[in-house]
């Protein structure tokens, strides 16, 4: 089932309650829309997104940085242990059609940048802002809430 | 669901009918025993194993060498596009608890070797034979048929 | 000779003449200061930095995305073919102590982000500006010219 | 300098004195013939080969499994920290035109197999023997001593 829409949800591994709630809603939304959730497999927003996806009966894959599947959060359909550290971020993005970024730190920023480099759309929920020479670079599609983020992601995936 | 037994099935991407039938039976057996099937996601034995797994209602993940999920066989629960070429063989093995090798060519041999290097058991069905200085090196557990291979794999995984 | 200072120079694969000149000066400066230059091995700023390094008698390694060393620019001491596509950006950063970013596009942004994620200093020459919620995030050390960038990089590397 | 002949020397990370001497002679021979030595960057045969190469004034690159260059042996021209574990074996092989295998354990076997999969010649010095269904598979070119191994490797590289 590789032809369905795959949406990566990226965000902090130790999120605030508000961030976790956003991740959960996005994961649920991806599942309800019939998509497959891709994430980094660890805690924080990766875990809440996988939990939301599971609650809605959806499928998810977690692509872990470490050597052991046992580091995975418990809500994934399948966990993949890459043993590649941060280089796995490229696989998270490569596997997805669109990336939804929920706030996030530098790891999330790397996933946003890799997606844009690969020509994949990025939808942002309160995430990084980019600029050059004092001018904003509007490469991230801004969403107002989880529902909007999922809707935009599926719209962009179907182009 | 990272705590279930994950079994990688590795073998030729263009198998003979007999090899494909073995792959299909192994995939079915992994699913019936409650395991998750890991494979390289492409055709041949990877495809027949994923097909057998799907027929038995099991879960599978295909870890692809290329950039696109669309190269995946159609029977996978989830496809992962690594874009890493043969380096993805290490991820196939890393993700699994035990590897079942169905005959196979040099790619399969690399997966057998990586598994043994990582200390993971390898069960062989008519696959490579290894030696040094004229002496056989019996690192691969030999199985007589798909049923035996699956039984041995689960026994070794539970150690 | 793994204990010398390794400085990654990252930037656009098709730079303007001004960007190429900056890359050349940075590569020369890294060599003159006794460092080893790390780059992505391709054209543009990667090539001009390797050229500057070679002119000054320094050593450089290019870590290529593709399968073939023949894609490398001709100024490298050693070329490494990863066959991993953009995932090689993590290896460029992992291999370096400090990253100098010369302007750059999304690939460069991913290398900046990966470096910051790994806790490695990033020195910027007219490169990306980062923000969150309308506030600037000053994670990149700004340099005024190539000489300053190299000086700051070696200072940060010796901490 | 990506167009010179690159020869990977693979073998045990904890070799016997005889194995280390073979590695040293092979590394020296690669350098004397004008080649670039590729290795895994760690101890054992990787270290003795890099040492022989350095003694003869040659260039070498060590492609490390871990996150830190400080794990590298001290004889390399350049060390690359991949942070990818055993998946780095594919990069060692990808970077080389020909692989010389000095005896070795399962890691070495994986490099032999990956090279053969990628269509790259493998020259063996007392290394693994391969078979299928009781028949020997003669995929490795056997050399009698380090001098012969280097000569055969360069001959195969120039095809």
Q: Phi, psi at residue B133, to the nearest 5°? A: 50, 40
- Per-residue pLDDT, averaged over B16-33, amounts to 98
Q: Which residues of D touch A81 (CB under 8 A)?
A: none
Band of pLDDT at residue B1, cut at 50, 70 and 90: low
CB spacing of B63 vs A83 below 8 angstroms: no
Mean pLDDT in chain A?
97
Checking if the pLDDT of C36 tops 90, the result is yes
CB spacing of D85 vs A83 below 8 angstroms: yes
Nearest beta carbon to residue A110 from set C84, C117, C132: C117
Res D115: pLDDT: 98
Q: How far is CA D96 from CA C69, D7, D118, in A?
A: 9, 5, 11
pTM > 0.95: yes
Neighbours of B102 (CB within 10 A): 31
Res A1: pLDDT: 63
Which of A59, A64, A95 would you mutate first to test chain B, the one with the most B CBs within 10 A?
A: A95
B vs D, Cβ pairs < 8 A, gives 93
Res C1: pLDDT: 63
Name every residue in A having a CB less than 8 A away from some CB of D.
67, 82-87
Nearest beta carbon to residue C90 from set A87, A116, A118: A87
Over residues B40-64, the pLDDT tens digits come to 999 999 999 999 999 999 999 999 9
Over residues A33-48, the pLDDT tens digits come to 999 999 999 999 999 9
> Cα A121 to chain center, whole Å?
12
- The Cα–Cα gap between D91 and D63 comes to 8
Mean pLDDT in chain B?
97
Residues (pLDDT < 50) of chain D are: none
Res B124: pLDDT: 98
Over residues B123-144, the pLDDT tens digits come to 999 999 999 999 999 999 999 9
Res D2: pLDDT: 74
* H or E element that contains A20: helix A17-32
- Percent of chain B exceeding pLDDT 70 equals 99
CB spacing of B116 vs D139 below 8 angstroms: no
Which of D99, D111, D112, D129 would you mutate first to test chain B, the one with the most B CBs within 10 A?
A: D129
Q: Which residues of C touch A119 (CB under 8 A)?
A: none
Res B30: pLDDT: 98
B120-146: b or e for each residue (b if 16 or more CB lie within 10 Å)?
bbbbbbbbbbbeeeeeebeebbebeeb
Checking if the pLDDT of B16 tops 70, the result is yes
Band of pLDDT at residue A2, cut at 50, 70 and 90: confident
Q: Which residues contact D144 (CB under 8 A, 6 or more apart)?
A: none
Checking if the pLDDT of C86 tops 90, the result is yes
Nearest beta carbon to residue A114 from set C110, C137, C139: C110
Quote the ipTM score. 0.96
Checking if the pLDDT of A159 tops 90, the result is no
CB spacing of D87 vs A86 below 8 angstroms: no
Checking if the pLDDT of C2 tops 80, the result is no
> Cα D56 to chain center, whole Å?
17
Checking if the pLDDT of C71 tops 70, the result is yes
Over residues D114-155, the pLDDT tens digits come to 999 999 999 999 999 999 999 999 999 999 999 999 999 999
Q: Phi, psi at residue D14, to the nearest 5°? A: -140, 85
Residue C88's closest CA among A109, A83, A88, A113?
A88
Res D1: pLDDT: 63
CB spacing of C1 vs D79 below 8 angstroms: yes
Q: Phi, psi at residue C141, to the nearest 5°? A: -80, 120
- Per-residue pLDDT, averaged over B27-51, amounts to 98
> Cα A143 to chain center, whole Å?
14
């Amino acid at each position: 089932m590789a032809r369905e829409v795959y949406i990566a949800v990226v965000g902090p591994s130790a999120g605030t309650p508000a961030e976790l709630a956003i991740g959960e809603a996005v994961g649920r939304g991806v599942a309800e829309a019939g998509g497959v959730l891709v994430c980094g497999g660890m805690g924080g927003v990766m875990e809440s997104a996988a939990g939301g996806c599971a609650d809605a009966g959806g499928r998810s894959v977690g692509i872990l940085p470490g050597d052991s599947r046992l580091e995975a959060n418990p809500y994934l359909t399948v966990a993949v242990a890459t043993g590649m550290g941060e280089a796995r971020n490229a696989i998270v993005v490569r596997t997805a059609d669109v990336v939804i970024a929920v706030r996030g730190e530098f790891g999330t920023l790397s996933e946003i940048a890799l997606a844009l480099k690969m020509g994949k759309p990025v939808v942002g929920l309160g995430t990084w802002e980019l600029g050059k020479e004092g001018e904003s670079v509007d490469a991230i599609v801004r969403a107002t809430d989880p529902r909007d983020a999922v809707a935009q992601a599926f719209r962009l995936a179907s182009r």
